[in-house]
């Protein structure tokens, strides 16, 4: 049960992380998760427990996302870590944390209760620690008094024991890589528990070290060999412990402290006092009355040994626990590493003057004063620290330079940065919120932020430079609007390369009904990207996009895929371009791309109702049905007046021409309705006479939403590769519409289906022209052929028979439904082909064929022992549950049977053949038809007789199939005590007689688990009840099959024909083979 639920999330994870090779990714994720033994929580359960992640329930902020307090239905309190999509922790770290903590059991490690992966949500559920994190005590003037020395020493020893377990006593050697005060939680008795294993690394055997090119951790706690070279080991954890030990003793963070006119961090301050034999000055004043001097001095001594520069000079945690727990002699510490102060921040007691800078934690960016060749014009700004040229990314006072070196940047008591020159304010920040403990910090993203030092949420900024950018865009910076603050975030070009005065060339979002990004020259549109369409855009190895649109903000962000990359976009007034640069291995800025890219990117070059194609000659063409407004000017290459309709619109009888591969028109005069699908969008546009074009709002997946254009269509570009652009439906009068009879009505029905279209020649070659030897099956609607594509991939091709009952409606139904389905127990659609009379569906080839070829074959049935059959039963149940409940649409299959269940190479089941399926939105679960389609022996009575179908009619079919799998017999005539009964009747008769074990297929008697088999028979009889309301849902079926819960007794099942036999004729009767039927009848 648990494993099945885990696998059900795989497709969601693949979709979420946008990994191109989905099959390999799926296998990789399955392999990583297969040995995880933790409960899986339902997202709804956690949402209820945390009051929908209410802000009041937020109790912390880790580097990878917020932590919320919650309460489960039974009253148990929990802590829920919610992975932020904008964090650095992706799928790898999440799975790492789950897998590691699931295997760890120690009283000084936080306990993982379970996890949840659903859509974009990745959640870890921990035991709730009532006293929160250690940092909230030791760094708080009031709460620190609650921790006297005996309690602190107890906490120190607990942390040591937890770390020793990770390094030595657990089955795997585990290096935490992010040990710090905020990752130590305290329970109700103030016992410490190490938490947050998202960055941890595990090793088997005797391995104790590793190497990485992705350095992750917290500034101030990282060992030098890890921060500089990416080398980590158990000794890098020991270094972090040494810092933490000092902080617990001193009650101070490892940041800037003053000692005899020197600014040192805590380690440097401790080393200086140790050398002066004044170590007692390090004590937190609140523990002086309770401390044991010898213990405290021993702790300081051990901490200095732990923070030695070279790993080999640091003790192991075994030695640490021995040194702390005895009076053994200890070696004298050498001078420790990193006695320079934290230079990434400014507090109220500090200021920044000419010649001094602050540097981001990992040395990526630097803030200070600079000039651009003229010493009489100086500026406060941020630059790439280790890049010598073109490195300025932000300027505070671009339009107000300082003419000498007597300027000062300080942080005032209200939490505002103020730049003064001769006591005159040159520049300052503003914030609506004031704070008592402000700190300004330069982050490794290049963002200068102001926040409350005591605020648990590290991302609760009072002000940030990313909201007020200059001419340069960086990874993680938003372009857009904070709607409630009416604040536009946009890039503004410098006047020139040596003058950072803001120019009039800008890059930002204009708030049209369908917002989009523009380059503006003053108030004139210069270049338009086109609106966000839900697509990730062109795949590249450097960055990915995020788009946010809600009541709070509308923003566009790009983020680097690899934190070790450096990239920037710059708005240039001189060249009137917005280039993107990437820092290359040759140590120079390499031009990666430029906007505008070509002449056609310049705004409106072809005028209204025309498109521009840079690969065509001439580059401007009128849209279909339009003609140049001024033919003379058009011929003279002046296209600015654009085009007009050849014939007037009729409104009522108009239609639409479809054009692919476009940058859609300027969205200033548009209307958006995200609730409409493409068909309703077409109808609405057709009914509004001034609507000139429409398309999907969001093209991801199968497409959704509606956008309509009114008036002239401006600034359209035709891309040379259609996939680079979008589809647009342009309104035309009847005289301009294509009246060809070959234009099928199914064009509109297929236009929103997101599956590859195969060329008929490709399919013909793959199947050897549908060679009879390649035929592997015959469905009710036509034959199925095995084929092999040019690259070697094997496929199954369903060829619609012109004589079958399945016409274009069922064909399109199957394409549209399966294209939207993603589940490991449903067959995967690779694409389709429609050409002339041929209508083909291309599926993954499932190597073991259909289930009926096994269970109804005396030889092959022996290959399916009971464990395999039970796995098949559970897989079919999970697939059906997905169709009925978990997919975006509720889907009723209407033809579930043994021949429509395929088995892959590992005998996992996959439900196939959706030609008869019906889909419903919302909570609808049933329908009615006067065209009854299905297979004899599997149809529920209410469907066969009255045309009423529902999820419960699928449940009926599942009940039949379940019986067939257990018995190895088709649902046909069997004889029992002078009666001819079908399989259901036969099973019911034996059930009443308490002889149900007689039903078991003889081929599985040696391998079967009797309670499981009897439970399956019990469930099958509940599924085939006469009335739908008496049948369980598939949710209940899975619960009953996967547990030992009590079940209701079945009533007599739905219809099963009886026939009295003459004496002496007690052998099995013959029956019709499986027939797919299609009945048309009035009700």
Per annotation, catalytic residue among 135, 342, 666, 895: 895
**SS3 label, residue 749:** helix
| Cα–Cα distance for residue pair 837/257, rounded to 1 Å | 82
Residue 1048: pLDDT above 60?
A: yes
| Cα–Cα distance for residue pair 1055/1068, rounded to 1 Å | 20
Whether 895 is catalytic is yes
pLDDT at 366: 93
Per-residue pLDDT of 757-779, as tens digits, reads 888 999 999 999 999 999 988 76
**β-strand pairing of 610-612 with 716-718:** parallel
Residue 831 DSSP code: E
- Per cent of the chain over pLDDT 70 is 83
pLDDT at 1073: 38
Cα torsion for 447, 451, 453, 457, to the nearest 10°? -90
Domains of the chain (ranges, CATH numbers): 2-127 (3.30.200.20), 135-197+204-324 (1.10.510.10), 343-468 (2.90.10.10), 499-596 (no CATH), 601-739 (no CATH), 743-845 (3.30.200.20), 849-1083 (1.10.510.10)
- Residue 161: in which H helix or E strand, if any? helix 149-164
pLDDT at 5: 34
Q: Mean per-residue pLDDT for 648-671? A: 91
Which tokens is 893 given?
Answer: 């299959």
Per-residue pLDDT of 704-748, as tens digits, reads 889 999 999 999 999 877 777 889 999 999 888 864 333 444 555
For the ranges 466-475, 817-826, 1040-1049, the lowest mean pLDDT is seen at: 817-826
pLDDT at 210: 60
Reported as a pLDDT band with limits 50, 70 and 90, residue 1070 is very low
Reported as a pLDDT band with limits 50, 70 and 90, residue 866 is very high
Q: Mean per-residue pLDDT for 908-920? A: 84
Q: Mean per-residue pLDDT for 135-141? A: 89
**SS3 label, residue 1031:** coil
- Per cent of the chain over pLDDT 90 is 47
Buried b (16+ CB within 10 A) or exposed e, 251-276: bbbbbbbebeeebbbbbbbbbbbbee
Q: SS3 sequence, 292-327?
A: CHHHHHHHHHHHHHHCCCCHHHCCCHHHHHHHHCCC
Residue 69: pLDDT above 50?
A: yes
**Please, are residues 199 and 176 in contact by the beta-carbon 8 Å criterion?**
yes
**Please, are residues 800 and 839 in contact by the beta-carbon 8 Å criterion?**
yes
pLDDT at 258: 44
Q: Which has more confidence, 464 or 813?
A: 464
Per-residue pLDDT of 985-996, as tens digits, reads 899 999 999 999
| Cα–Cα distance for residue pair 507/577, rounded to 1 Å | 10
| Cα–Cα distance for residue pair 410/418, rounded to 1 Å | 5
pLDDT at 120: 76
| Cα–Cα distance for residue pair 571/503, rounded to 1 Å | 10
Closest alpha carbon to 606 in 714, 498, 469: 714
Residue 402 DSSP code: B
Which tokens is 656 given?
Answer: 């639409």
Average of per-residue pLDDT values in the chain:
83
Task: Please state the pTM of the whole predicted model.
Answer: 0.46
Per-residue pLDDT of 48-65, as tens digits, reads 999 999 988 988 776 567
Per-residue pLDDT of 311-328, as tens digits, reads 999 999 989 998 998 888
Residue 88: pLDDT above 70?
A: no
Q: Which residues contact 852 (CB under 8 A, 6 or more apart)?
A: 897, 898, 899, 901, 1074
Q: SS3 sequence, 202-262?
A: EECCCCCEEECCCCCCCCCCCCHHHHHHCEEEHHHHHHHHHHHHHHHHHCCCCCCEEECCE
Residue 509: pLDDT above 60?
A: yes
Per-residue pLDDT of 934-974, as tens digits, reads 676 788 888 777 778 889 999 999 999 999 999 998 887 56
Per-residue pLDDT of 802-850, as tens digits, reads 555 455 656 776 677 777 777 888 998 888 888 877 888 899 999 999 9
Q: Mean per-residue pLDDT for 34-42? A: 73
Which tokens is 309 given?
Answer: 């520069």
**Please, are residues 1035 and 954 in contact by the beta-carbon 8 Å criterion?**
no
| Bond preceding residue 618 cis, omega within 30 of 0 | yes
How many of the other CB atoms lie within 10 Å of CB of 464? 18
Determine phi and psi for 21, rounding to 5 degrees: -85, 90
How many of the other CB atoms lie within 10 Å of CB of 113? 19
pLDDT at 934: 65
Per-residue pLDDT of 537-590, as tens digits, reads 555 778 888 888 888 899 999 999 887 789 999 999 999 999 999 988 778 899
Closest alpha carbon to 984 in 1034, 921, 931, 1053: 1053
pLDDT at 268: 85
| Cα–Cα distance for residue pair 317/323, rounded to 1 Å | 10
Residue 1074 DSSP code: P
Instruction: Answer positive or negative: Cα dihedral of 605, 607, 613, 617.
Output: negative
**Please, are residues 190 and 147 in contact by the beta-carbon 8 Å criterion?**
yes
Closest alpha carbon to 687 in 698, 673, 700: 673
Q: SS3 sequence, 912-962?
A: CCCCCCEEECCCCCEEECCEEEEECCCCCHHHHHHCEEEHHHHHHHHHHHH
Closest alpha carbon to 245 in 305, 189, 185, 312: 305
């Amino acid at each position: 049960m648990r494993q099945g639920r885990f696998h059900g999330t795989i497709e969601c994870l693949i979709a979420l992380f946008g990994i191109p090779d989905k099959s390999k990714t799926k296998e990789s994720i399955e392999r990583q998760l297969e040995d995880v033994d933790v409960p899986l929580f339902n997202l709804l359960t956690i949402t209820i427990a945390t009051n929908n992640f209410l802000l009041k329930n937020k109790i912390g902020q880790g580097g990878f996302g917020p932590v919320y307090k919650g309460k489960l239905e039974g009253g148990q309190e929990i802590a829920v870590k919610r992975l932020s999509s904008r964090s650095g922790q992706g799928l790898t770290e999440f799975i790492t944390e789950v897998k590691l903590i699931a295997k760890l059991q120690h009283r000084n490690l936080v306990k993982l209760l379970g996890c949840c992966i659903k859509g974009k949500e990745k959640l870890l559920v921990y035991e709730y620690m009532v006293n929160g994190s250690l940092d909230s005590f030791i760094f708080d003037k009031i709460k620190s008094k609650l921790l006297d020395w005996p309690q602190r020493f107890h906490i120190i020893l607990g942390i040591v024991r937890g770390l020793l377990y990770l390094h030595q006593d657990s089955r795997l050697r585990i290096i935490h890589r992010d040990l710090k005060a905020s990752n130590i939680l305290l329970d109700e008795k103030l016992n410490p528990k190490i938490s947050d294993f998202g960055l941890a690394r595990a090793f088997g055997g005797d391995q104790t070290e590793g190497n990485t090119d992705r350095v992750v951790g917290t500034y101030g706690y990282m060992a030098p060999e890890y921060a500089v070279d990416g080398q980590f080991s158990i000794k890098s954890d020991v270094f972090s412990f040494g810092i933490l030990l000092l902080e617990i003793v001193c009650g101070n963070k490892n940041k800037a402290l003053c000692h005899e006119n020197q600014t040192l961090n805590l380690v440097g301050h401790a080393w200086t006092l140790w050398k002066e034999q004044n170590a007692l000055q390090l004590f937190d004043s609140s523990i002086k009355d309770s401390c044991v001097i010898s213990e405290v001095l021993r702790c300081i001594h051990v901490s200095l040994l732990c923070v030695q520069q070279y790993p080999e000079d640091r003790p192991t945690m075994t030695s640490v626990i021995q040194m702390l727990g005895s009076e053994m002699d200890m070696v004298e510490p050498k001078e420790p590493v990193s006695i320079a102060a934290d230079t990434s921040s400014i507090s109220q007691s500090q200021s920044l003057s000419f010649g001094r800078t602050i540097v981001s934690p990992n040395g990526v960016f630097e803030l200070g004063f600079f000039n651009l060749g003229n010493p009489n014009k100086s500026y406060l700004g941020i630059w790439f620290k280790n890049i010598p040229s073109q490195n300025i990314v932000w300027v505070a006072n671009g339009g107000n330079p300082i003419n000498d070196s007597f300027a000062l940047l300080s942080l005032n008591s209200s939490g505002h940065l103020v730049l003064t020159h001769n006591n005159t304010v040159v520049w300052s920040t503003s914030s609506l919120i004031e704070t008592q403990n402000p700190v300004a910090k330069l982050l490794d993203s290049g963002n200068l932020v102001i926040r409350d030092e005591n605020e648990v949420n590290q991302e609760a900024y009072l002000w940030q430079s990313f909201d007020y950018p200059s001419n340069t865009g960086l990874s993680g910076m938003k372009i857009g609007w904070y709607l409630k603050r009416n604040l536009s975030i946009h890039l503004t070009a410098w006047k020139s390369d040596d003058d950072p005065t803001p120019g009039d060339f800008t890059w930002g979002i204009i708030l049209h009904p369908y917002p989009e990004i523009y380059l503006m020259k003053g108030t004139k549109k210069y270049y338009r990207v086109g609106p966000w369409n839900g697509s990730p855009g062109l795949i590249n190895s450097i960055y990915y996009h995020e788009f946010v649109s809600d009541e709070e903000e509308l923003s566009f962000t790009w983020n680097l895929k690899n934190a070790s990359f450096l990239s920037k976009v710059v708005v240039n007034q001189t060249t009137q371009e917005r280039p993107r640069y990437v820092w290359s291995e040759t140590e120079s800025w390499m031009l990666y791309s430029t906007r505008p890219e070509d002449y056609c990117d310049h705004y409106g070059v072809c005028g209204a109702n025309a498109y521009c194609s840079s690969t065509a000659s001439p580059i401007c063409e009128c849209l279909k049905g339009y003609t140049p407004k001024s033919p003379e000017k058009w011929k003279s290459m002046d296209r600015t007046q654009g085009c007009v309709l050849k014939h007037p619109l009729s409104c009522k009888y108009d239609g639409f021409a479809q054009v692919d591969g476009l940058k859609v028109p300027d969205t200033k005069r548009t209307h958006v309705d995200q609730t409409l699908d493409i068909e309703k969008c077409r109808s609405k546009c057709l009914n509004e006479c001034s609507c000139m074009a429409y398309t999907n709002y969001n093209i991801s997946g199968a497409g959704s939403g509606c956008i309509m254009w009114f008036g002239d269509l401006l600034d359209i570009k035709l891309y040379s590769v259609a996939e680079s652009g979008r589809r647009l439906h342009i309104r035309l009068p009847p005289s301009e519409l294509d009246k060809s009879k070959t234009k099928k009505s199914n064009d509109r029905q297929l236009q929103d289906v997101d599956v590859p279209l195969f060329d008929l020649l490709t399919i013909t070659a793959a199947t050897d022209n549908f060679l009879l030897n390649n035929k592997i099956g015959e469905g009710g609607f036509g034959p199925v052929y095995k084929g092999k594509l040019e690259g070697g991939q094997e496929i199954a091709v369903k060829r619609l028979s012109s004589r079958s009952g399945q016409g274009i409606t069922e064909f399109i139904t199957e394409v549209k439904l399966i294209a939207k389905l993603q589940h490991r127990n449903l067959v995967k659609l690779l694409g389709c082909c429609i050409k002339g009379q041929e209508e083909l569906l291309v599926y993954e080839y499932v190597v073991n064929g259909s289930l009926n070829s096994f269970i109804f074959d005396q030889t092959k049935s022996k290959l399916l022992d009971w464990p395999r059959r039970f796995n098949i039963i559970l897989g079919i149940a999970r697939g059906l549950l997905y169709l009925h409940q978990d997919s975006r649409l509720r889907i009723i299959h209407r033809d579930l049977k043994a021949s429509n269940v395929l088995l892959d190479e590992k005998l996992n089941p996959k439900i196939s053949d959706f030609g008869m399926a019906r889909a419903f939105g919302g909570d609808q679960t049933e329908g009615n038809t006067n065209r009854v389609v299905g297979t004899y022996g599997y149809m529920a009575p209410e469907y066969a007789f009255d045309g009423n179908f529902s999820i419960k009619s699928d449940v009926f079919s599942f009940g039949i199939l379940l019986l067939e799998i257990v018995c190895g017999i088709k649902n046909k005539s069997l004889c029992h005590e002078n009666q001819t009964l079908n399989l259901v009747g036969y099973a019911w008769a034996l059930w009443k007689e308490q002889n149900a074990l007689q039903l078991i297929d003889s081929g599985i008697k040696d391998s079967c688990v009797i309670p499981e088999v009897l439970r399956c028979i019990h469930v099958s009889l509940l599924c085939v009840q006469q009335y739908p309301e008496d049948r369980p849902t598939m949710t209940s079926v899975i619960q009953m099959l996967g547990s030992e819960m009590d079940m209701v007794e079945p009533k007599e099942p739905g219809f099963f024909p009886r026939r009295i036999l003459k004496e002496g004729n007690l052998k099995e009767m013959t029956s019709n083979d499986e027939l797919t039927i299609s009945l048309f009848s009035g009700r």
